[in-house]
Amino acid sequence: MTSNQTRTAIVTGASKGIGAAIARRLARDGVAVIVNYARGRAEAEALVRTIEADGGKAIAVQADIADPAGMALLFEVGEKTFGGIDILVNNAGIMKLSPLAQTDDASFHTQIAINLGGVFRGMREGARRLRDGGHIINFSSSVVGLYQPGYGVYAATKAGVEAMTHILAKELGARRITVNAVAPGPIETALFTDGKSEAQIEAIGKMIPLGRLGQPDDIAGVVSFLAGPDSGWVNGQIIRANGGVV
Ligand SMILES: NC(=O)c1ccc[n+]([C@@H]2O[C@H](COP(=O)([O-])OP(=O)(O)OC[C@H]3O[C@@H](n4cnc5c(N)ncnc54)[C@H](OP(=O)(O)O)[C@@H]3O)[C@@H](O)[C@H]2O)c1
């Protein structure tokens, strides 16, 4: 990449929640963004219009990251539209909670396919196709260190993401590509609030040392740092952005 080239990013799962906040933030940082979505076409297209209205560049691309062809498609469209990819944010993920004794194979396979398989294929594609000097930012979760009942499979997928993050950082260092992960605490999105009562949500917010739940923009700021010029010496790290909860 030459110094006057626009930097470009793929953000998986950017139709809502944390991914949408990351797409908005990177676009504000001057990055052209591929806004990936699975089912939320209307939301992804609305987000692209908002980014464009603010003077940024973005396109919405449908791809299921559990499908082996999905990640390759995102790179193909990104390369054709913007000339190359510099930043890959492996944000898309799902969470299905149940005690291990009650977890069926379908729940296990879906979480593995999206949370671990999608990130694996993203890292593999990124390792092959990111421009030198680029950044891969994966998504773990602070629940990895909490060992709470009900989180067995979800936490296991995120522990796998953390392991691969450390290893790929060592494999790509020679090309000046950094590989890090963000491990958020409770962030007020559908993934966190679905299935919880108002009282439960409030109680969790009060348990956090900073006294509130996280918001998507709290995490977008961390991603902006990891994708930007000030994080040049940060590599192979898991950033636990969680208000001090663990
Ligand atoms: N919220 C939290 O408290 C929290 C805490 C720790 C870690 N995290 C992690 O942060 C990431 C984002 O979570 P969130 O809270 O923003 O979740 P969210 O609001 O539920 O959004 C999830 C996003 O992922 C996309 N997605 C799901 N399955 C996909 C697939 N197969 N292919 C492509 N995209 C897919 C969804 O797209 P469509 O809607 O278009 O289907 C949506 O845009 C996840 O990896 C999650 O595990 C979240």
The string of DSSP codes covering 206-217 is HHSTTSS-B-HH
> What pLDDT was estimated at residue 237?
98
Which parts of the chain have pLDDT scores under 70? 1-4
The pLDDT, as a whole number, for residue 206 is 96
Per-residue pLDDT at 1: 61
Determine the Cα angle at 148 with ends 159 and 198, to 5°: 115
pLDDT of residue 133: 98
The binding-site residues of ligand 1, defined as CB within 6 angstroms of any ligand atom, are 12-19, 36-40, 64-66, 91-95, 114, 139, 141, 184, 186-187, 189-192
Residues with catalytic roles: 154
- Which residue type sits at 51? I
- With CA atoms as reference, report the closest residue to 13 among 79, 55, 61, 53: 61
Residue appearing with tokens 């994966």: 138
- Angstrom distance (rounded) from CA 90 to CA 93: 9
**If you measure from the C-alpha of residue 93 to the centroid of ligand 1, how many angstroms do you get, rounded to a whole number?**
4
- Domains of the chain from N-terminus onward: 8-182+219-239 (3.40.50.720)
Q: Which atom of ligand 1 is nearest to the CA of 44?
A: 40
Q: What is the pLDDT of residue 5?
A: 80
Q: Which atom of ligand 1 is closest in space to residue 66's alpha carbon?
A: 31
User: Residue 174 Cα, ligand 1 centroid: separation in angstroms?
Assistant: 31
Of 18, 41, 222, the one to substitute when testing ligand 1's pocket (max ligand atoms within 8 A of C-beta) is 18
Distance from C-alpha of 104 to C-alpha of 96, rounded to nearest angstrom: 11
Position 2 scores a pLDDT of 59
Q: Could you tell me where the DSSP H helices lie in 29-151?
A: 41-53, 68-82, 105-111, 119-129
- CA 181–ligand 1 middle distance (angstroms): 15
